[in-house]
Amino acid sequence: DARGRWKKYIVAIDATHFKDASAQFQDTYLCRELNKAFIGFTDMAAPYEPLPSTVVSGNWGCGVFKGNKALKALLQLMACAQAGKALAYSTFQDEFLEKELQRTYNKLVASECTVGKRVIY
């Protein structure tokens, strides 16, 4: 708004509980999680007015759901790219994760990577 505040919307996306943490790397789950994030971040979720241009998120589906933080961050980044949104990602002061995500992001940008180049169903 005129005072520089962000317009806020809350979008809840259910997280898959991975009893076997390695299962989240299977194509079926990768596709499912990517699609859930994409639908949650697109303006389809708010048909009467566009959602803000930046998605603020963090370690969605991690913790008790056993999601891999780096994988979930990359899936959210990919979903935002497809939805035409920026991603403001909180690592919750996990400095290692922050550095790894920044390094990965820089490599993806430098190589002109697109979601379409990375996702094969």
Per-residue pLDDT at 69: 98
Give the mean model confidence (pLDDT) for residues 74-94. Answer: 96
Per-residue pLDDT at 45: 65
Higher pLDDT, 104 or 119: 104
In a domain, 32, yes or no: yes
Contact 33, 72 (CB under 8 A): yes
Q: Work out the pLDDT band at 9, boundaries 50, 70, 90.
A: confident
Per-residue pLDDT at 74: 96
In a domain, 13, yes or no: no
Domain region containing 79: 21-118
- Split into its structural domains, the chain has a count of 1
* pLDDT surpasses 90 at 47: no
In a domain, 6, yes or no: no
Nearest-10 Cα torsion for 58, 47, 31, 86? -40
Widest pairwise Cα distance in the chain: 48
In a domain, 84, yes or no: yes
How far apart CA 76 and CA 107 sit, in angstroms, is: 17
Q: Identify which of 72, 9, 10, 11 has the alpha carbon closest to the alpha carbon of residue 39.
A: 11
Contact 85, 98 (CB under 8 A): no
In a domain, 63, yes or no: yes
In a domain, 10, yes or no: no
* pLDDT surpasses 80 at 5: no
In a domain, 57, yes or no: yes
Mean pLDDT of the chain: 90
- State if pTM tops 0.75: yes
